[in-house]
């Protein structure tokens, strides 16, 4: 804490400066001032916190100086150190705001003690001010939160109250606008931020940003909301500079999303809505430091339902039980999504959810096909909003759980039921009995006997009926050509397929498609 000694007697001012051990007591002594006039010139520059001054000096008196200092810098502590032990002087000194009155005959210990007490008063005053300011800012943020959360345009009363609480946001320059930024903070390594809670982190960074940019901050649904006034020509540069400084100081990476600038405080609801929408693109535009609403507002979205081919590919992966292959597939899917210029968070969420639903449906079908009799438990242990925030984790965790459930089912079912599941998943191929027996690790002859015993059909009959049932489903539910359906179940010869279909169903494929309800059962 800085101390300034003011006295026109060189012996006194030099003695007070050098004889007393100021440094050991936590004080820094500035070069002494030889007059009140010199002190008044230096105080705005040197900014001492404590002043020791004589009363009677050439020119202005110490009390005259104290009067002027207290008017301009009321927080400075002034201690008179005089050669006159007179009550009238002491009375006048107190009226001028002097906090202590010492005699020049005082011992060094008494002078240090006066300085220590002055320091305590300064620190207490600063603490009180800081608490008062902190409480005021909490109240102000509460008002701003309620104002933004209302989702409606401000009325005149709310507008005036906003200006009273945040005068720095007032739009006084032609062309100036208000803008809301949504910030997400990611610590880079073990650092002070890593050890703070999310709220403490936002409070630290929000306060620094609001002070540097003369704006306001709030915590908003896990992000740091920053409201700033932007002058014409500022653009992204002023905020970017403040964010880069913060990143350097606190070893973190900050992703910023800005809403549409508004020229009236009554449009803050629009500024918030567009900032939140822009921030929802953080995962999609992962390589961008700054996401502007203007750059994403025209996006149309992608397909919201996965294709039949993707379903088939996913079911094959789930059946394989290979977690590494599943993770690679998920990474490819997400990379493809991020490369699509029309992707929106809403459409991505719907598409990825359709993949999860497809996996769940496959698990239920697979359980039936292998003869699993216990109920299949489908668990959605995730927040659907995380599909656009951390999709890789959600997909790998959820699909990995389906993969494990299937593996557990298989381990408790018979080889024949596992073979049936394998057959249903490969109806487009020409599967021999030997291939299927090998898949379930059985001797072909023994497998053939067990298969007939458990299903009541020989292998060829079962496979043929399974293929034709799938063909019937495709004829009923899809517009695919008959030749395409034949290929789908492994028959390249369309004439052979037609004859086989009629033999088993009593109708041609075309007749069945026209009147599926009149087809007799193949059972």
Q: How far apart are CA 435 and CA 216, in angstroms?
A: 69
Domain contains 131: no
Which phi and psi angles does 459 have, rounded to 5°?
Answer: -60, -50
Q: How far apart are CA 370 and CA 160, in angstroms?
A: 70
CATH assignment of the domain containing 245: 3.30.70.270
Domain contains 108: yes
440 lies in the same domain as 363: no
60 SS3 class: coil
Given 295, 327, 357, the domain boundary residue is: 295
110 lies in the same domain as 200: no
The beta strand positions in 209-318, using DSSP E, are 216-220, 223-230, 252-258, 290-292
Q: Is 360 in contact with 325 (CB distance < 8 Å)?
A: no
Measured N-to-C along each axis, helices 345-369 and 391-411 cross at an angle, to the nearest 10 degrees, of 0
200 lies in the same domain as 323: no
285 lies in the same domain as 326: no
291 lies in the same domain as 317: no
Domain contains 427: no
Written as tens digits, the pLDDT of the chain (523 aa) is 899 999 999 999 889 998 888 998 999 999 999 999 999 999 999 999 999 999 888 899 888 999 999 999 999 999 988 887 666 666 777 777 788 888 888 899 999 999 999 999 988 888 777 676 778 788 888 889 988 888 777 788 888 888 889 998 888 888 899 999 999 998 876 555 667 788 888 888 998 999 899 899 999 998 999 999 988 877 788 899 999 998 888 888 999 999 999 998 888 999 999 999 999 999 999 999 999 999 999 999 999 999 988 998 999 899 888 999 999 999 999 999 999 999 999 999 999 999 999 999 999 888 877 767 677 777 777 788 899 999 999 999 999 999 998 888 877 777 888 888 888 888 888 889 999 889 888 888 988 998 898 888 999 999 999 999 999 989 988 889 999 999 999 998 999 999 999 998 888 999 888 887 766 555 5
Q: What is the domain count for the chain?
A: 4
DSSP H or E run through 175: none
291 lies in the same domain as 336: no
378 lies in the same domain as 439: no
Which positions ≥6 away from 424 have C-beta within 8 Å?
365, 369, 466
CATH assignment of the domain containing 485: 1.10.10.60
Given 273, 295, 317, the domain boundary residue is: 295
Given 295, 320, 353, the domain boundary residue is: 295
Write out the residue range of the structural domain in which residue 289 sits: 159-295
Q: Is the pTM of this model over 0.75?
A: no
175 lies in the same domain as 289: yes
Q: Is 4 in contact with 39 (CB distance < 8 Å)?
A: yes
Domain contains 172: yes
Residue where the block lists tokens 């000096």: 57
């Amino acid at each position: 804490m800085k101390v300034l000694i003011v006295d026109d007697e060189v012996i006194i001012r030099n003695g007070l400066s050098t004889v007393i051990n100021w440094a050991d007591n936590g004080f820094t002594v500035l070069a002494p001032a030889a007059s009140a006039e010199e002190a008044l010139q230096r105080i705005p520059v040197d900014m001492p916190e404590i002043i020791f001054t004589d009363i009677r000096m050439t020119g202005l008196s110490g009390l005259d100086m104290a009067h002027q200092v207290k008017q301009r810098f009321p927080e400075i502590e002034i201690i008179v150190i005089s050669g006159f032990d007179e009550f009238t002087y002491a009375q006048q000194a107190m009226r001028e705001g002097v906090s202590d009155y010492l005699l020049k005959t005082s011992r060094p210990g008494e002078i240090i003690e006066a300085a220590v007490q002055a320091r305590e008063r300064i620190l207490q005053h600063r603490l009180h001010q800081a608490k008062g300011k902190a409480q005021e800012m909490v109240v102000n943020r509460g008002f701003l939160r309620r104002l933004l959360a209302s989702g409606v345009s401000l009325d005149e009363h709310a507008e005036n109250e906003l200006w009273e609480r945040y005068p720095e946001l007032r739009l006084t320059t032609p062309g100036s606008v208000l803008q809301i930024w949504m910030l997400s903070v990611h610590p880079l390594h073990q650092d002070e931020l890593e050890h703070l809670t999310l709220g403490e982190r936002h409070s630290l960074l929000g306060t620094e940003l609001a002070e540097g940019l003369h704006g306001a901050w709030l915590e908003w649904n896990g992000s740091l909301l920053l409201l700033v006034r932007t002058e014409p020509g500022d653009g992204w540069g002023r905020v970017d500079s403040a964010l880069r400084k913060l990143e350097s100081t606190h070893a973190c990476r900050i992703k910023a999303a800005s809403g549409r600038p508004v020229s009236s405080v009554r449009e803050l609801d629009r500024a918030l809505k567009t900032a939140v929408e822009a921030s929802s693109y953080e995962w999609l535009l992962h390589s961008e430091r700054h996401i502007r609403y203007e750059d994403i507002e025209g996006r149309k979205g992608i397909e919201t339902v996965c294709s039949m081919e993707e379903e088939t590919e996913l079911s094959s992966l789930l059946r394989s039980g290979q977690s590494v292959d599943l993770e690679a597939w998920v990474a490819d899917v997400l990379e493809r999504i991020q490369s699509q210029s029309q992707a929106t968070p809403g459409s991505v969420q719907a598409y990825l959810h359709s993949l999860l639903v497809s996996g769940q449906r496959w698990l239920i079908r697979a359980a039936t096909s292998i003869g699993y009799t216990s109920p299949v438990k489908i668990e959605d242990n995730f927040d659907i909003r995380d599909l656009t925030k951390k999709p890789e984790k959600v997909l790998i965790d959820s699909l990995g759980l389906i993969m494990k459930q299937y593996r557990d089912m298989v381990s408790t079912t018979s080889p024949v039921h596992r073979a049936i599941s394998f057959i249903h998943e490969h109806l487009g191929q020409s599967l021999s009995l030997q291939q299927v027996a090998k898949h379930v690790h059985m001797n072909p002859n023994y497998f053939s006997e067990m298969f007939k015993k458990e299903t009541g059909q020989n292998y060829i009959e079962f496979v043929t009926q399974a293929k034709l049932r799938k063909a019937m489903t495709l004829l009923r539910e899809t517009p695919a050509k008959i030749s395409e359906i034949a290929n789908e179940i492994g028959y390249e010869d369309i004439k052979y397929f037609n004859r086989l279909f009629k033999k088993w169903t009593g109708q041609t494929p075309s007749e069945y498609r026209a009147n599926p309800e009149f087809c007799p059962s193949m059972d």
